Every structure is written in C-alpha cells, then in structure tokens.
Amino acid sequence: MLRLGQVDYLNVLPIYHAFSSGAVPLEAELVAGVPSVLNQKFLTGELDITPISSIAYARQPESAWVLPDISISADGAVESILLFLRCPVEELAGKRIAVTTSSATSVILLRILMNCYYGISCSYHPARPDLKEMLEQYEGALLIGDDALIAREQSSIPYLDLGALWKEMTGLPMVYALWVIRREYVAWNQREISRVVEAFRESRRWGLTNRDEVIRTAIRRYPLPEAVLKNYFETIRYDLDDSYRQAVEVFFDYALQVGALPAPARLKVWGVDE
Ligand SMILES: C=C(O[C@@H]1C=C(C(=O)O)C=C[C@H]1O)C(=O)O
C-alpha cells in the first residue's frame, strides 16, 4: 500500500481532513511527523509520497519528482514561521540563535534573510522547539508550525515573521514545502500516482468548501482562538502554479548563494517535466 507522509501540524488540516474523515477516499498508510522527520523518512525510502521541506528537495532533486499543483506556501506573512527575539534584530550581529530541529526550509530562509536582507552574520544552533528553554541560552529562537502558533499565543515576546520579510526582500511568495514522489516508486506506479494527484485536488477542494468543519475540528484539537485559526487557514496557500514555482527557484538560488546547497536546483514536476 502507498506510504503517504503527513505533516504533523495544523497547516495541512485543510488538505488531510478529507482523507482522515473519509470524505475523499484514498488507500494509503498515513505516516505523520514533523517536517525534519518526514524529510529523513523520505530519504531512507520509508515514504513513497510525502510533503518535505522545499530545501530538502533542493538538496537531492535527483531522488524525487515533485507532485503538481500542491505546496505549503504563503504570500507574505505566514504566521507560523517566527523568529522570537530578546533584542532588536539590528543587534543580532555575532549573536547566537536557536533554530528548531523540526524544520529545514525555515532555518535556511532565516540565514538568507540575515545575510542578504539585514547584512548580519549570526551563529545558528539546533534546539528542541521550546521557546522558554531556547531563549534562556540564545538571543533569538526560530520556531515553526504549531510550536510557533502556540508560542505566539502564550507569550508576549517580540518576533519577526519570516514570510513577511521574504516578501519585503524579494516581492515573492515563499514555498516552504513540496510534495514529492520517490523516483523508484514512479517507475512502477504511474496510474496510482494519477489517482493520488486527483485525490489531493479533491481533498483540497473539499477543505476549501468545508472550511467551517475544518475550523471546528481545529478548535477541538488546538489551544488557539477561532479568529487565529480562521486567519491561519486564509494565510496558508497550497498552490504550486508557475509563479510559485519561479518563487521557490529564487529561494534555491539564494540558498546556493549562502552555501546551503551543493549545486543549483530546479523543480522537476511529475507529468510536466518528465
Ligand atoms: C508554514 C509552515 O510550513 C512548513 C515549514 C517547513 C520547514 O520549515 O522545513 C516544512 C514543512 C511545512 O510544515 C510551517 O510549518 O509553519
């Protein structure tokens, strides 16, 4: 059976709710994990199709095809990729920043923004996503996903939204995650992949037209106010059209420039670039 990854965060609820509720049928074994765990499981061949950090794809583009039409993106402020700060950003030069071990893309996005937008060089230290612990030892703390949404709700520590900064620097949306297909899986499962692509289109449509049910489900599971949830589901975009594709390739170019990629990377989309 297809082994399908699922980001263990609120951001994909509008996509996966239709699968878990049975509203859109999809025969698959669902494997949930934070992005860094899915990235790793994909690399070791434990998942056939899964969302992974866009930078994780760019590190090994030859190992995967990208699923068409779907991503985890935002055009400007993203609400869940936040750098919490103990001092003004201008004073971060030479300081130490804790970065969540759950992420891959945002850690590089932070480095790009610091180097290329602020012209500041800092050191970055992987850490458990616990805001209090991180800020006891470091001047700044990068959190993503549910950890960021909840930390912002429960603290009054100032923060920067990396999606908003990326938009200020480049004028572009930011693509945080892509769905990928294992190369070996593609060779034997073309019809199965078509079915999965169609199932994702349908589940996304379902999530958009049944937003109230998605929000009710989120309210039951998360310690977040309804207004925050509503705003979040309007913020996260799941598109991967030409403009998002160009935007993610600009991100790859910056990643190369700051030394975070071994070689230039381009998207290879299943059914488009084959
Ligand atoms: C917007 C988000 O998108 C994500 C960020 C990722 C990353 O930084 O590597 C990977 C997958 C997505 O969950 C988020 O998690 O807050």
- For residue 187, the model assigns a pLDDT of 84
pLDDT tens string 172-203: 999 999 999 999 998 888 899 999 999 999 99
Question: What is the phi/psi pair of residue 236, to 5°?
Answer: -70, 130
Ligand 1 mean position to 72 CA, how many Å?
A: 7
3, 92, 108, 146, 218 from 131: Cα distances, Å: 33, 17, 19, 12, 23
140/92 Cα distance (integer angstroms): 8
- Cβ–ligand 1 contact at 78 (below 6 Å): yes
Domains annotated for the chain, with CATH where assigned, are 3-73+174-257 (3.40.190.10), 81-170 (3.40.190.10)
pLDDT tens string 53-67: 999 999 999 999 999
What average pLDDT does the chain have?
96
- Within a 10 A sphere around the Cβ of 16, how many other Cβ atoms? 20
Ligand 1 mean position to 145 CA, how many Å?
A: 6
247-251 LR contacts (CB < 8 Å, sep 24+): 247/73, 247/170, 247/172, 247/173, 247/174, 247/175, 248/54, 248/71, 248/175, 248/178, 250/170, 250/172, 251/54, 251/55, 251/109, 251/112, 251/166, 251/174, 251/175
Q: State percent of the chain over pLDDT 90.
A: 95
Residue with tokens 């084959």: 274
- Cβ–ligand 1 contact at 53 (below 6 Å): yes
156's CB contacts (< 8 A; 6+ apart) are none
pLDDT tens string 31-56: 999 999 999 999 999 999 999 999 99
Q: Check pLDDT > 80 for residue 274.
A: no
Ligand 1 mean position to 273 CA, how many Å?
A: 25
pLDDT tens string 1-36: 999 999 999 999 999 999 999 999 999 999 999 999
Closest residue by Cα to atom 5, ligand 1, is: 176
Ligand 1 atom closest to the Cα of residue 148 is: 16
CA diameter of the chain? 54
- The span from the first CA to the last CA of the chain, in angstroms, equals 24
Ligand 1 mean position to 103 CA, how many Å?
A: 6
